[in-house]
Structure formats: structure tokens, C-alpha cells
């Protein structure tokens, strides 16, 4: 029995109870009709009346009060309302006690909008009499949401089935739950046969529980070997990520068939290999041409000088003075030493490229060592150039190979003098940063054109502004080789018409003795 919200205030009469029930029914959003045991409408709520008014039903009908609801359903069935007979059938079952309640969803479209309702029929007893409640709940918004969800699902399925990438979902046991059309095509299966198969069937191997997911899970994918239905193997890109859902975890796998990409990569690698081989061949030809050019140019002068001295001794030796003969012999010796030095440079580079050098490092006073090297040049060139030494450290020791490092310094100082104008400054500055000794050799010479700087350390290569200055193009290549033997670096900075600065950086302590290979 329905009672007021305050149980301490009982109904004073049956009319009070009826008004209370009516107020409760009017507060509900469903369209509700109360029927007696014969199906006659004995009460309706406000929502029922409002619906009738909005849909043009005459008020003279008293909103169906006193009418038999079964008759209304039968009448509606003549107007193509397919659900009305079903409602009448369910209502009869509830009235007879065959069902305790009945529910049916049906459309109820108006000329201006589409609407859906749910009819619910239930029975109860009131004052020892059977009463039937028929409630029609408007579920249009819910139905629209369901339809939009269904449309979204169909759109997603259409997208998934039309992408080139395979997409599958896998449960925590490694069993495939869903697969799109591309996944079936990649692995050569019928679309409906992939769900239920173990994931490792596509990857080859055995399922190792969570271990395989820990290995494959992550933002970065993996290049794996995929196993097709016919047993053939294809390269695939496999990306797996974990999704945490209310009903448990699931893994989403994105799969790409990278067979074509691998073929392109192999072709690109082969093309690059051929390009490098051709480039190496071109470099060798260019090196050969530069060597021949250098030999023909640089050897011509000492050979001509030797030939001239030889002819003079042969033809005029009997009539020449002892001083003239001595001068001719000294010239021959000087030119032979020059040729020997050229051959030695070529052999140095050749040895660095094949047999290797053994560095013999020893602890050395670097300040005294650099002064000694520089003094030789000061003695021979003090009339033509200002050759200076600078060091702000009272002591600086390093482990070096005296012979090999001297070769590097000699080549750099020779170049600084050779490419500097008469009276120009050549400075050797020695310093230290952390565990590195720094030797800088700076000149005020012609500088190196920017277009030549990238190739400056190539054997036999000479800058274009040195064509009229003798040289073999080997000095810098040998200098860098000697520096790298000490685990050091050789760099430079240059401006045309201003000068050039070469910087050697050497570790103060050498690693274990080793062979150097160019």
C-alpha cells in the first residue's frame, strides 16, 4: 500500500490515497495508464495527457479513460501498427497471470521526428483487486545514441577493413580475438579463420606467456619474420600495445608487410655499394693522375738539376776549378736528398695504408721539444721570416713518439714558411687544456680557398692558389697521419689573404702500444 513520505501522517480517507497515487504518477516521465482486471483504463498520468495533447488527440476522448486498452490495441493494428498486437498479446498474458510483466520496444514516429518507446506491462493487487499498469517510456535519446554508436562501429569496421595495415587484438593468453581484412590477407588466411588462433602461429615459435608481451610491448615496433598459412616466411613490422579495459587487459597489434620495403632497401644497399665502388675507383684514378702529375712536375726539376751538374762535370770537369766541381757535386747530393724525401713521403703514406706503424711513446718535456724543432727553422729562415715560439706554462710533459711527431711539426712549419710572404710571421703556440696538449702553428700566408678546404688532407691534393709554388701535396696527409698515431686530432682554420692556423690536440698520456692502420 502506498503511503505518504512521512509515515507518521496516515491517509484520512481513500480519496487522500488516490490523490497521493495520482501525484506520484504525474511526477513520472513515462506515459502511464492504470487498467482494471478487464483492461479498461481507469486512470492516466500527466505525461499520458501531455502526449495526447501534443499528438492532436481530441480531449473529448477523455484521454482514453473508460476505454478498453485491448480494444485500442486491436484498433491500432488496423492502421499498420505492427507492434500493437504484440502489446495486446503481452497484456493478456499479464492479465491472466501467465507473465508477471511484459516489455516491448517499438517505434512511434511523428511527421516531424522519429521516436522510440518501450512499453512495460505489470500487474499488482490493490484493495484485493487486480490492477494493470501500462507504461510507455520515451527512449528516443537512448535509441539515437545506440544508432550513432552502431554507425560509428560500422565506420570503424569499414576503416579497419580498408587500411593496408593488419590490425588484430590478442588476449592475455596469446589468442587472437579479432582481425581485420588486411591481417588475413598479409598472412594468407580467410578473414573469419584468424580469431581463435594463437598469435605465435603468425610469428613462428611457441607462446611463452607474459614474456613475449613484455618483449614486444612498447612504442617502438619490431621487425620480425611472419609465418603465412602456406608456410612461407615474410618480413613484417610488428607493433604491440596494451589496453586496460574493464573486463581485463587486451593487446592491439599493428602489422605491416614490409616485403617491398626490404626489397627496396636491398636494392638501395646494392646501389650504394656500387656507388662507393665506383667512387673508390674514381678516387684511385684521380689519385693516380695526381701522383703522375706530381711525379712528372716535381721530379723534373731535381732531375734536370742533376743532369746539368753531371754534364758540367763530364764536359768541363778537366778545366773547372775545384770549387766549381765541389759545387756541382753538392748540388747533385742536394737534389738526390730531395728525391729521397719525396719517395719517403710516398712510402710513409703507403705504409700507413697497409703494414701499419708502431708508435714508440716516451715521456717528454714538450716545451723543450717544440723549441728544438723550431730552432732548426729559425736558423735557416731567420733572414726571410719571423719564426716565434709562445708558451705560458712553466712546464708541460706528454707521452709522444719524438720521431713521428717531429715529422708532423716539420711538415706544418715548412708549409707555413712556404706559403707566407717574405717577412711574414710564423708562430708556434704551445698550451694545455685539461688532459690535452695543444700545439698551434699560425702563419700570415696566402690562406686556403674555401672550396679546397674539404679535400685538403687528401694525398697529392693541393689548393688551386698554390700552382706556382713547389710541393707534392703529401705534407698535410702525413702530418695528420702522425697526429692520429698519437690518438690526437689535426684541424685548421683559414682565410684567403689573411693566413692559416693548424691546431694539434694530443692526449698527455698515450693508451697502450698499438698498431695504427690508415
Is the domain defined by 357-516 classed in CATH 3.90.700.10? Answer: no
User: What is the structure's pLDDT at 298?
Assistant: 60
CA distances from 130 to 92, 95, 125, 143, 399 (A): 13, 8, 5, 33, 112
| Fold observed for domain 265-344 | Helix Hairpins (1.10.287)
CATH 3.30.450.20 in the chain, residues? Answer: 14-137, 161-257
CATH 1.10.287 in the chain, residues? Answer: 265-344
Q: Which class for 326: exposed (0-12), middle (13-18), buried (19 or more C-beta within 10 A)?
A: exposed
Start-to-end Cα distance in the chain: 104
User: What is the structure's pLDDT at 4?
Assistant: 39
B/e letters for 460-487, b = 16+ CB within 10 Å, e = fewer, are bbbbeebeeeebbbbbbbbbbbbbebbb
Task: Kindly report the CATH class assigned to 14-137.
Answer: alpha beta
Contact 56, 110 (CB under 8 A): no
User: What is the structure's pLDDT at 290?
Assistant: 65
Can you read off the three cell numbers belonging to residue 44?
Answer: 492516466
User: What is the structure's pLDDT at 239?
Assistant: 85
Of 311, 413, 411, the C-alpha closest to 371 is: 413
Please report, in tens digits, the pLDDT of each residue of the chain (518 residues total).
333 334 445 545 567 777 887 888 888 889 999 999 999 999 999 999 888 888 777 666 678 888 999 888 877 654 445 788 888 899 999 999 899 899 999 888 878 888 899 999 999 987 788 899 999 999 989 988 888 888 887 777 777 777 788 888 888 888 898 898 899 999 999 988 999 998 888 887 654 655 666 666 665 678 888 999 999 999 998 888 877 766 667 888 888 899 988 999 999 999 999 999 998 888 777 766 666 666 665 666 677 778 888 888 888 878 888 888 888 888 888 778 767 766 766 666 666 554 556 788 899 999 999 999 999 899 889 899 999 999 999 999 999 999 889 989 989 999 999 999 999 999 999 999 999 999 999 999 999 999 999 988 888 788 888 878 877 778 898 899 899 999 999 999 999 999 999 999 999 998 765 444 33
Can you read off the three cell numbers belonging to residue 353?
Answer: 695504408
CATH 3.30.565.10 in the chain, residues? Answer: 357-516
- Prediction pTM value: 0.43
Q: In angstroms, rounded to a whole number, what is the distance separating the alpha carbons of residues 487 and 475?
A: 19
Query: What torsion do the CA atoms of 456, 440, 347, 398 make, to the nearest 10 degrees?
Result: -140
Q: Which class for 141: exposed (0-12), middle (13-18), buried (19 or more C-beta within 10 A)?
A: exposed
Contact 69, 41 (CB under 8 A): yes
Give the 3-state secondary structure of residue 165: coil
CA distances from 397 to 374, 412, 507 (A): 17, 21, 11
Can you read off the three cell numbers belonging to residue 68?
Answer: 478498453
Can you read off the three cell numbers belonging to residue 226?
Answer: 611472419
| Fold observed for domain 161-257 | Beta-Lactamase (3.30.450)
Contact 421, 444 (CB under 8 A): yes
Q: In angstroms, rounded to a whole number, what is the distance separating the alpha carbons of residues 461 and 452?
A: 9
Whose grid coordinates read 716565434? 388
Amino acid at each position: 500500500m502506498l503511503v505518504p513520505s512521512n509515515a507518521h501522517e496516515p491517509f484520512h480517507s481513500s480519496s487522500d490515497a488516490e490523490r497521493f497515487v495520482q501525484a506520484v504518477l504525474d511526477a513520472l516521465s513515462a506515459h502511464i495508464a492504470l487498467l482494471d482486471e478487464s483492461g479498461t483504463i481507469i486512470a492516466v498520468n500527466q505525461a499520458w495527457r501531455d502526449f495526447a495533447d501534443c499528438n492532436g488527440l481530441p480531449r473529448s476522448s477523455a484521454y482514453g479513460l473508460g476505454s478498453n486498452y485491448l480494444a485500442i490495441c486491436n484498433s491500432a493494428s488496423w492502421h499498420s501498427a505492427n507492434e500493437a498486437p504484440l502489446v495486446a498479446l503481452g497484456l493478456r498474458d499479464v492479465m491472466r497471470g501467465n507473465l508477471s510483466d511484459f516489455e516491448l520496444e517499438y517505434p512511434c514516429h511523428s511527421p516531424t521526428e522519429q521516436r522510440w518507446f518501450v512499453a512495460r506491462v505489470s500487474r499488482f493487487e490493490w484493495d484485493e483487486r487486480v490492477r494493470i499498469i501500462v507504461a510507455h517510456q520515451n527512449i528516443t535519446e537512448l535509441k539515437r545514441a545506440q544508432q550513432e554508436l552502431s554507425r560509428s562501429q560500422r565506420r570503424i569496421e569499414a576503416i579497419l577493413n580498408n587500411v593496408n595495415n593488419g590490425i588484430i587484438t590478442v588476449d592475455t593468453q596469446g589468442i587472437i580475438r579479432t582481425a581485420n581484412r588486411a591481417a588475413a590477407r598479409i598472412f594468407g588466411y580467410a578473414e573469419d579463420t584468424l580469431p581463435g588462433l594463437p598469435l605465435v602461429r603468425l610469428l613462428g615459435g611457441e607462446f611463452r606467456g607474459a614474456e613475449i608481451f613484455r618483449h614486444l610491448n612498447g612504442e617502438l615496433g619490431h621487425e620480425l619474420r611472419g609465418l603465412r598459412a602456406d608456410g612461407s616466411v615474410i618480413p613484417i613490422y610488428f607493433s604491440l600495445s596494451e589496453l586496460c579495459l574493464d573486463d581485463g587487459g587486451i593487446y592491439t597489434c599493428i602489422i605491416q608487410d614490409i616485403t617491398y620495403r626490404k626489397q627496396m632497401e636491398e636494392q638501395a644497399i646494392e646501389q650504394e655499394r656500387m656507388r662507393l665502388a665506383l667512387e673508390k675507383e674514381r678516387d684511385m684514378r684521380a689519385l693516380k693522375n695526381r701522383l703522375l702529375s706530381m711525379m712528372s712536375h716535381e721530379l723534373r726539376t731535381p732531375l734536370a738539376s742533376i743532369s746539368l751538374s753531371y754534364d758540367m762535370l763530364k764536359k768541363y770537369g778537366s778545366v773547372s776549378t775545384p770549387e766549381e766541381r765541389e759545387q756541382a757535386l753538392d748540388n747533385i747530393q742536394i737534389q738526390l736528398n730531395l728525391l729521397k724525401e719525396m719517395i719517403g713521403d710516398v712510402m710513409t703514406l703507403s705504409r700507413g695504408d697497409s703494414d701499419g706503424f708502431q708508435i714508440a711513446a716516451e715521456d717528454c718535456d714538450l716545451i723543450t721539444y717544440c723549441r728544438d724543432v723550431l730552432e732548426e727553422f729559425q736558423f735557416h729562415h731567420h733572414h726571410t721570416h719571423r719564426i716565434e715560439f709562445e708558451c705560458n706554462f712553466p712546464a708541460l710533459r706528454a707521452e709522444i713518439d719524438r720521431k713521428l711527431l717531429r715529422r708532423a711539426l716539420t711538415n706544418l712549419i715548412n708549409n707555413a714558411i712556404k706559403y707566407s710572404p717574405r717577412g711574414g710571421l710564423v708562430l708556434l703556440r704551445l698550451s694545455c687544456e685539461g688532459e690535452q696538449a695543444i700545439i698551434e702553428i699560425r702563419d700570415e700566408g696566402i690562406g686556403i680557398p674555401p672550396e679546397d678546404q674539404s679535400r685538403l688532407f687528401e694525398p697529392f691534393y693541393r689548393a688551386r692558389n698554390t700552382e706556382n709554388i713547389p710541393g707534392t701535396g703529401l705534407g698535410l696527409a702525413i702530418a695528420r697521419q702522425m697526429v692520429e698515431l698519437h690518438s690526437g686530432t689535426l684541424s685548421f682554420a683559414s682565410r684567403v689573404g689573411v693566413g692559416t692556423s693548424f691546431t694539434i690536440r694530443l692526449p698527455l698520456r698515450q693508451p697502450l702500444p698499438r698498431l695504427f692502420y690508415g
